Amino acid sequence: MSKPVIITCAPTGGIHTPTMSEHLPITPNEIAQASIEAAEAGASIIHLHARDPETGRPDPNPDLFMQFLPRIKQATGAVMNVSTGGGLGMTMDERLRAATVASPEMASLNMGSMNFGIFPLLENFDTWKHDWEPKFLGMTRDFIFPNTFATIEYALTELGEKHGTKFEFECYDLGHLYNVKWFVDKGMIKPPFFIQFVLGILGGAGAELENLQFLHRTADRLFGAENYEWSVLGAGRHQMPMATQSVLLGGNLRVGLEDSLYIERGELAVSNAQQVEKARRIVEELGRRVATPDEARERLGLKGGDKTAF
Ligand code: KMH
Ligand code: ZN
């Protein structure tokens, strides 16, 4: 019997911009509301970024995170996962700040430096709500998303060792799995750990079933299937197809407006919960069930919601 499916929802992220969808949560209030609804719909983990409430620009300020983290915690049992990917162009210090202040059960950790091209989104719009949006997207033509061994080690020590925070290891390509393996061999990553395969980002592996199967097989070989949990996020139009493939292969899934603004081809999602509900229907139609937050905690070896700083 396959295990229950851990659904992660990433409600806002740092890639999409306000012009692209009026449903993208921006203010702490909107992010809290969207997260609570997503948890009620079946998400056991909420992956969080913050934005400047005026402009919608990704913002690393811990004060913003502290406006929504306690509210979500109070209203749901969900696991809070604070992004250390932040927004493209932030320093590593900025990216780690909110998680260091909040001491969450989970934080994301991107497992390799890479091209991260979101400039093709420029072609979809002629006018923008804010000046920063086209500049932000355009700069990714000549941008490397830095995640060096030194910065990964720093996050593993500062957050992992000192705060007991566990990670969503975001792996966009084969080499990233070998980077995880290097830290496993050093004893700095210990089972059970959580791998998020990120497919369909320009700069990483494409969102194709063969890639997912190969990455999954490689991870099983490197780590041993019993030592880790895995999940998939497909970017943009690949979101639900990749989620479905993961359910079929026995894995977990991530949805949310961070990864795709759509619910169907050409139809914007009106909320994060709408995507979670759809994912849940897929899970249940395919004969599995959705994991509760406590089941996720147990399988991922998390420290517990009572041990955070919010
Ligand atoms: N936006 C996703 C492609 C992070 O927050 O650490 C990757 C992500 C990065 O979730
Ligand atoms: Zn993220």
* Cβ of 82 less than 6 Å from ligand 1: no
Q: How far is the CA of 215 from the centre of ligand 1 (A)?
A: 18
The whole-angstrom separation of Cα 195 and Cα 160 is: 15
Phi and psi torsions of 199, nearest 5°: -120, 140
Q: From the alpha carbon of 201, which atom of ligand 1 is closest?
A: 3
* Cβ of 37 less than 6 Å from ligand 1: no
DSSP state of 2: P
- The sign of the torsion formed by the CA atoms of 256, 7, 208, 267 equals negative
Q: How far is the CA of 48 from the centre of ligand 2 (A)?
A: 7
For residue 4, count CB atoms less than 10 angstroms from its CB and return exposed for 0-12, middle for 13-18, buried for 19 or more.
Answer: middle
Q: From the alpha carbon of 110, which atom of ligand 1 is closest?
A: 6
The whole-angstrom separation of Cα 24 and Cα 17 is: 8
Question: What integer is the mean pLDDT of 247-266?
Answer: 98
* pLDDT of residue 44 exceeding 90: yes
E strand or H helix at 181 = helix 174-185
* Cβ of 111 less than 6 Å from ligand 1: no
Closest CA to 58 of 25, 106, 33, 105: 25
Q: Residues 223, 232: contact at Cβ < 8 Å?
A: no
Count CA atoms within 13 Å of residue 258 on its CB side: 28
- Residue-wise pLDDT for 71-123, tens only, equals 999 999 999 999 999 999 999 999 999 999 999 999 999 999 999 999 999 99
- The sign of the torsion formed by the CA atoms of 259, 122, 98, 151 equals positive
E strand or H helix at 93 = helix 92-102
Looking at the chain, the whole-number percentage of residues with pLDDT higher than 70 is 100
Q: How far is CA 31 from the centre of its chain?
A: 15
Q: Residue 302: CB partners within 8 Å, gap ≥ 6?
A: 79, 105, 106, 166, 296
The pTM is what?
Answer: 0.98
The whole-angstrom separation of Cα 106 and Cα 123 is: 35
- Residue-wise pLDDT for 119-157, tens only, equals 999 999 999 999 999 999 999 999 999 999 999 999 999
User: CA angle, 273 as apex, 129 and 167 as ends, to 5°?
Assistant: 90
* Cβ of 15 less than 6 Å from ligand 1: yes
- Residue-wise pLDDT for 184-207, tens only, equals 999 999 999 999 999 999 999 999
- The pLDDT value recorded for residue 1 is 60
Q: For a pocket test of ligand 1, which of 65, 147, 198, 239 has the largest count of ligand atoms closer than 8 A to its C-beta? A: 198
Q: How far is the CA of 50 from the centre of ligand 2 (A)?
A: 10
Q: From the alpha carbon of 14, which atom of ligand 1 is closest?
A: 1
- The pLDDT value recorded for residue 2 is 86
Q: Rounded to the nearest 10 degrees, how much is the dihedral formed by the CA atoms of 79, 85, 88, 94?
A: 100
* Cβ of 85 less than 6 Å from ligand 1: yes
Looking at the chain, the whole-number percentage of residues with pLDDT higher than 90 is 99
Q: How far apart are the first and last CA of the chain?
A: 37
Q: How far is the CA of 1 from the centre of ligand 1 (A)?
A: 30
Ligand nearest to C-alpha 16: 1
Q: Residues 150, 182: contact at Cβ < 8 Å?
A: no
Question: What integer is the mean pLDDT of 41-65?
Answer: 98
Q: From the alpha carbon of 84, which atom of ligand 1 is closest?
A: 6
